[in-house]
Chains A and B, each alone.
Chain A
Amino acid sequence: GAGVSQSPSNKVTEKGKDVELRCDPISGHTALYWYRQRLGQGLEFLIYFQGNSAPDKSGLPSDRFSAERTGESVSTLTIQRTQQEDSAVYLCASSPTQTSRGGYTFGSGTRLTVV
Protein backbone atom coordinates (compact mmCIF):
# COMPACT_ATOMS: atom_id res chain seq x y z
CA GLY A 1 0.00 0.00 0.00
CA ALA A 2 0.89 3.66 -0.18
CA GLY A 3 1.41 3.99 3.55
CA VAL A 4 1.39 2.02 6.77
CA SER A 5 -2.15 1.11 7.67
CA GLN A 6 -3.30 0.23 11.18
CA SER A 7 -6.63 -1.06 12.34
CA PRO A 8 -8.74 -0.47 14.23
CA SER A 9 -8.13 3.23 14.67
CA ASN A 10 -9.70 3.14 18.11
CA LYS A 11 -10.56 0.23 20.35
CA VAL A 12 -12.39 0.22 23.67
CA THR A 13 -12.31 -3.06 25.53
CA GLU A 14 -13.24 -4.36 28.93
CA LYS A 15 -10.55 -5.32 31.37
CA GLY A 16 -9.67 -8.99 31.00
CA LYS A 17 -10.59 -9.26 27.33
CA ASP A 18 -8.12 -10.08 24.56
CA VAL A 19 -7.47 -7.63 21.73
CA GLU A 20 -5.76 -7.86 18.35
CA LEU A 21 -4.18 -4.88 16.68
CA ARG A 22 -3.30 -5.06 13.01
CA CYS A 23 -0.55 -3.40 10.99
CA ASP A 24 -0.24 -3.48 7.22
CA PRO A 25 3.20 -2.10 6.23
CA ILE A 26 4.29 -0.50 3.01
CA SER A 27 4.60 -3.13 0.30
CA GLY A 28 8.16 -4.38 0.05
CA HIS A 29 9.25 -3.15 3.47
CA THR A 30 10.93 -6.06 5.18
CA ALA A 31 11.35 -4.44 8.61
CA LEU A 32 8.34 -3.77 10.83
CA TYR A 33 8.28 -2.21 14.30
CA TRP A 34 5.74 -1.88 17.11
CA TYR A 35 5.83 0.94 19.65
CA ARG A 36 3.61 1.89 22.58
CA GLN A 37 2.91 5.50 23.43
CA ARG A 38 1.25 6.24 26.73
CA LEU A 39 -0.60 9.53 27.09
CA GLY A 40 1.78 12.47 26.98
CA GLN A 41 4.85 10.28 26.77
CA GLY A 42 7.41 9.20 24.21
CA LEU A 43 7.53 6.00 22.23
CA GLU A 44 8.38 2.76 23.95
CA PHE A 45 9.83 0.06 21.72
CA LEU A 46 8.00 -3.26 21.88
CA ILE A 47 9.21 -5.57 19.10
CA TYR A 48 10.51 -5.58 15.57
CA PHE A 49 10.33 -8.03 12.68
CA GLN A 50 12.86 -8.65 9.96
CA GLY A 51 10.80 -10.54 7.43
CA ASN A 52 8.68 -12.93 9.46
CA SER A 53 11.27 -13.33 12.18
CA ALA A 54 11.29 -11.42 15.47
CA PRO A 55 14.90 -11.62 16.75
CA ASP A 56 14.29 -9.43 19.78
CA LYS A 57 11.16 -9.73 21.90
CA SER A 58 12.66 -8.24 25.04
CA GLY A 59 10.68 -5.02 24.70
CA LEU A 60 7.35 -6.74 25.18
CA PRO A 61 6.15 -5.62 28.64
CA SER A 62 4.78 -8.98 29.78
CA ASP A 63 3.87 -12.44 28.56
CA ARG A 64 0.36 -11.16 27.88
CA PHE A 65 1.80 -9.44 24.81
CA SER A 66 2.63 -11.34 21.64
CA ALA A 67 3.11 -10.50 17.99
CA GLU A 68 3.36 -12.29 14.74
CA ARG A 69 3.94 -11.49 11.11
CA THR A 70 3.02 -13.61 8.15
CA GLY A 71 4.02 -13.42 4.52
CA GLU A 72 6.41 -10.54 5.22
CA SER A 73 3.42 -8.26 5.27
CA VAL A 74 0.67 -7.95 7.87
CA SER A 75 1.56 -8.07 11.54
CA THR A 76 -0.74 -8.61 14.50
CA LEU A 77 -0.06 -7.48 18.05
CA THR A 78 -2.15 -9.42 20.55
CA ILE A 79 -2.73 -8.40 24.14
CA GLN A 80 -4.33 -11.05 26.33
CA ARG A 81 -6.29 -10.36 29.52
CA THR A 82 -6.01 -6.60 29.03
CA GLN A 83 -5.33 -4.36 32.01
CA GLN A 84 -6.02 -0.66 32.43
CA GLU A 85 -2.28 0.04 32.24
CA ASP A 86 -2.36 -1.28 28.67
CA SER A 87 -4.33 1.81 27.62
CA ALA A 88 -2.15 3.64 25.11
CA VAL A 89 -1.65 4.35 21.44
CA TYR A 90 0.07 1.48 19.66
CA LEU A 91 2.10 2.63 16.70
CA CYS A 92 3.44 0.50 13.90
CA ALA A 93 6.24 1.49 11.53
CA SER A 94 8.04 -0.09 8.62
CA SER A 95 11.25 0.48 6.71
CA PRO A 96 12.73 -1.07 3.57
CA THR A 97 15.38 -2.94 5.55
CA GLN A 98 16.68 -3.05 9.08
CA THR A 99 19.43 -0.64 8.23
CA SER A 100 17.43 1.79 6.14
CA ARG A 101 18.93 5.22 6.40
CA GLY A 102 15.68 7.01 5.72
CA GLY A 103 14.01 6.41 9.03
CA TYR A 104 10.72 4.68 9.55
CA THR A 105 7.31 5.29 8.05
CA PHE A 106 4.65 5.22 10.75
CA GLY A 107 0.98 4.39 10.73
CA SER A 108 -1.58 6.52 12.52
CA GLY A 109 -1.76 4.12 15.42
CA THR A 110 -4.47 2.31 17.33
CA ARG A 111 -5.75 4.02 20.45
CA LEU A 112 -6.57 1.30 22.96
CA THR A 113 -8.71 2.12 25.96
CA VAL A 114 -9.24 -0.53 28.62
CA VAL A 115 -12.23 0.16 30.86
Chain B
Amino acid sequence: AQTVTQSQPEMSVQEAETVTLSCTYDTSESDYYLFWYKQPPSRQMILVIRQEAYKQQNATENRFSVNFQKAAKSFSLKISDSQLGDAAMYFCAYRSLFFDDMRFGAGTRLTVKP
Protein backbone atom coordinates (compact mmCIF):
# COMPACT_ATOMS: atom_id res chain seq x y z
CA ALA B 1 0.00 0.00 0.00
CA GLN B 2 1.15 3.50 -0.74
CA THR B 3 2.15 5.67 2.20
CA VAL B 4 2.93 9.36 2.33
CA THR B 5 5.22 10.83 4.98
CA GLN B 6 5.62 14.44 5.96
CA SER B 7 8.37 14.60 8.55
CA GLN B 8 7.91 18.25 9.53
CA PRO B 9 4.83 18.76 11.75
CA GLU B 10 5.50 22.50 11.89
CA MET B 11 7.52 25.02 9.93
CA SER B 12 7.84 28.76 10.12
CA VAL B 13 9.14 31.33 7.67
CA GLN B 14 9.66 35.05 7.65
CA GLU B 15 7.47 37.01 5.29
CA ALA B 16 9.12 37.39 1.83
CA GLU B 17 11.53 34.51 2.54
CA THR B 18 11.56 31.04 0.99
CA VAL B 19 10.54 27.82 2.72
CA THR B 20 10.63 24.18 1.64
CA LEU B 21 8.20 21.54 2.90
CA SER B 22 9.27 17.90 2.65
CA CYS B 23 7.33 14.87 1.51
CA THR B 24 8.33 11.30 0.80
CA TYR B 25 6.18 8.44 -0.38
CA ASP B 26 6.38 4.73 -0.85
CA THR B 27 5.08 3.01 -3.95
CA SER B 28 5.88 0.20 -6.34
CA GLU B 29 4.05 1.86 -9.22
CA SER B 30 5.86 3.62 -12.04
CA ASP B 31 3.18 6.13 -12.91
CA TYR B 32 1.06 8.15 -10.50
CA TYR B 33 0.15 11.68 -9.50
CA LEU B 34 1.40 13.79 -6.63
CA PHE B 35 -0.29 16.82 -5.15
CA TRP B 36 0.17 19.53 -2.58
CA TYR B 37 -2.97 20.83 -0.90
CA LYS B 38 -3.32 23.84 1.36
CA GLN B 39 -5.86 23.87 4.19
CA PRO B 40 -6.42 27.25 5.85
CA PRO B 41 -8.54 27.59 9.02
CA SER B 42 -11.65 27.66 6.84
CA ARG B 43 -11.06 23.88 6.38
CA GLN B 44 -11.32 24.17 2.58
CA MET B 45 -8.71 21.98 0.91
CA ILE B 46 -7.17 24.00 -1.91
CA LEU B 47 -5.07 22.40 -4.62
CA VAL B 48 -1.72 24.17 -4.78
CA ILE B 49 0.20 22.17 -7.35
CA ARG B 50 0.33 18.76 -8.97
CA GLN B 51 2.96 16.60 -10.62
CA GLU B 52 2.58 13.66 -12.98
CA ALA B 53 5.24 11.07 -12.28
CA TYR B 54 6.07 10.46 -15.95
CA LYS B 55 7.03 14.11 -16.39
CA GLN B 56 10.61 14.86 -15.47
CA GLN B 57 10.11 18.60 -15.40
CA ASN B 58 9.23 20.00 -12.00
CA ALA B 59 5.83 21.67 -11.80
CA THR B 60 5.60 25.39 -11.05
CA GLU B 61 2.63 27.58 -10.18
CA ASN B 62 3.61 31.20 -9.59
CA ARG B 63 5.44 31.30 -6.23
CA PHE B 64 5.02 27.56 -5.68
CA SER B 65 7.33 24.97 -7.17
CA VAL B 66 8.20 21.37 -6.48
CA ASN B 67 11.38 19.35 -6.43
CA PHE B 68 10.31 15.94 -7.67
CA GLN B 69 12.91 13.21 -7.34
CA LYS B 70 11.32 10.02 -8.59
CA ALA B 71 14.13 7.65 -7.71
CA ALA B 72 14.29 8.98 -4.17
CA LYS B 73 10.46 9.09 -3.96
CA SER B 74 10.65 12.64 -2.75
CA PHE B 75 8.28 15.49 -3.55
CA SER B 76 9.08 18.74 -1.74
CA LEU B 77 7.22 22.03 -2.05
CA LYS B 78 9.06 25.34 -2.24
CA ILE B 79 7.22 28.55 -1.47
CA SER B 80 9.05 31.67 -2.58
CA ASP B 81 8.39 35.22 -1.38
CA SER B 82 6.19 33.88 1.43
CA GLN B 83 3.09 35.87 2.23
CA LEU B 84 0.93 36.03 5.35
CA GLY B 85 -1.86 34.34 3.39
CA ASP B 86 0.32 31.28 2.89
CA ALA B 87 -0.08 30.35 6.55
CA ALA B 88 -2.01 27.08 6.63
CA MET B 89 -1.72 23.32 6.90
CA TYR B 90 -0.08 21.79 3.85
CA PHE B 91 -0.77 18.22 2.83
CA CYS B 92 1.15 16.11 0.38
CA ALA B 93 -0.95 13.53 -1.47
CA TYR B 94 -0.41 10.53 -3.72
CA ARG B 95 -2.89 9.25 -6.27
CA SER B 96 -2.51 5.97 -8.06
CA LEU B 97 -3.68 5.45 -11.61
CA PHE B 98 -5.21 2.17 -10.55
CA PHE B 99 -6.60 2.63 -7.06
CA ASP B 100 -9.46 4.76 -6.14
CA ASP B 101 -8.47 6.97 -3.28
CA MET B 102 -5.92 9.68 -2.70
CA ARG B 103 -3.47 9.06 0.15
CA PHE B 104 -2.48 12.01 2.31
CA GLY B 105 0.42 12.73 4.60
CA ALA B 106 -0.14 13.93 8.16
CA GLY B 107 0.42 17.55 7.16
CA THR B 108 2.81 20.40 7.94
CA ARG B 109 1.58 23.51 9.70
CA LEU B 110 3.23 26.57 8.16
CA THR B 111 3.44 29.81 10.10
CA VAL B 112 4.42 33.03 8.33
CA LYS B 113 5.95 35.71 10.54
CA PRO B 114 5.54 39.37 9.59
Contact = CB atoms under 8 A, between A and B. Distances in A.
Interface of A: 33, 35, 41-43, 45, 48, 50, 55-56, 59, 89, 91, 93, 98-99, 101-109, 111
A104 B35 CA distance: 10
Interface in B69-102: 91, 93, 95, 97, 100-102
A108 B44 CA distance: 4
Contacts of A93: 45
Interface of B: 33, 35, 37, 42-47, 50, 52, 91, 93, 95, 97, 100-107
A50 B99 CA distance: 12
Contacts of B37: 103, 106
A98 B96 CA distance: 10
Nearest to A106: B45
In this complex, which of A93, A104, A105 has the most chain B Cβ atoms within 10 angstroms of its Cβ?
A: A104
Contacts of A89: 43
In this complex, which of B52, B101, B105 has the most chain A Cβ atoms within 10 angstroms of its Cβ?
A: B101
Contacts of A45: 101-103
A55 B98 CA distance: 13
Contacts of B100: 48, 50, 55-56, 98
9 contacts: A35-B104, A45-B103, A56-B101, A59-B101, A98-B100, A103-B47, A109-B43, A109-B44, A111-B43
Nearest to A6: B43
Given A106-B37, A108-B42, 5 more contacts: A41-B107, A48-B100, A56-B101, A91-B45, A103-B95
A3 B101 CA distance: 20
